[in-house]
Amino acid sequence: MKVIESHLPGVKIIEPKVFGDERGYFLESWQALRYIDAGIEVPFVQSNVSKSARGVLRGLHFQNPNPQGKLVYVLSGEVYDVAVDIRRGSPTFGQHHGVILSEHNHRQFYVPEGFAHGFCVLSESATFAYMCTNYYDPSSEASLLWNDPALAIDWPLESPQLSEKDKKGLTLDAFDPATLPEFV
């Protein structure tokens, strides 16, 4: 597998080896020793799958306390996926990295604890999978506003479909710093 480091420390793009022929393809979506070698030495405790229609934007979500790191990938369709560094005291605080994930490029995106995460669907629909380093905790969850001007994320859509929770997301500046994860 190939690992591409982003400009945000810990955020990685993984391109697994894909073995294909006229019958289809095979790839390892996770293999602990390979990912440890890639610098992703975390326990995954929960695996989730979501399906969304074109134009849906989910995020930017995070949990604090009880942060979640996520290894995300697309089973069908295509999404634009984003990680935002929200760790107070981080040299890359407020910076983001985005990547296209699709059923064709088979890329995975590792978003460590301390980052907000979100994606928007570019294809007719997309089935999205993610493994998490901590359990979902609704009492710890928060939403960062997807179009916070200070983040300057160049989302590839103008009027996304949002959940009520995501419509009420806060700008990064509006969060009490004590509610954000700390850079260590």
> What positions carry a catalytic annotation?
61, 130
DSSP, residue by residue, 109-168? EEE-TTEEEEEEE-SSEEEEEEEESS---TTTEEEB-TT-TTT----S-SS-B--HHHHT
Tokens of 86: 């929200």
Architecture of domain 2-179: Sandwich (2.60)
Residue 184's pLDDT is: 87
CA distance 144 to 94: 11
For residue range 116-143, list pLDDT tens digits in order: 999 999 999 999 999 999 999 999 999 9
Tokens of 160: 């996304």
Residue 158's pLDDT is: 87
Residue 96's pLDDT is: 98
Q: Which of the residues in the chain have pLDDT under 70?
A: none
Domain boundaries, the chain: 2-179
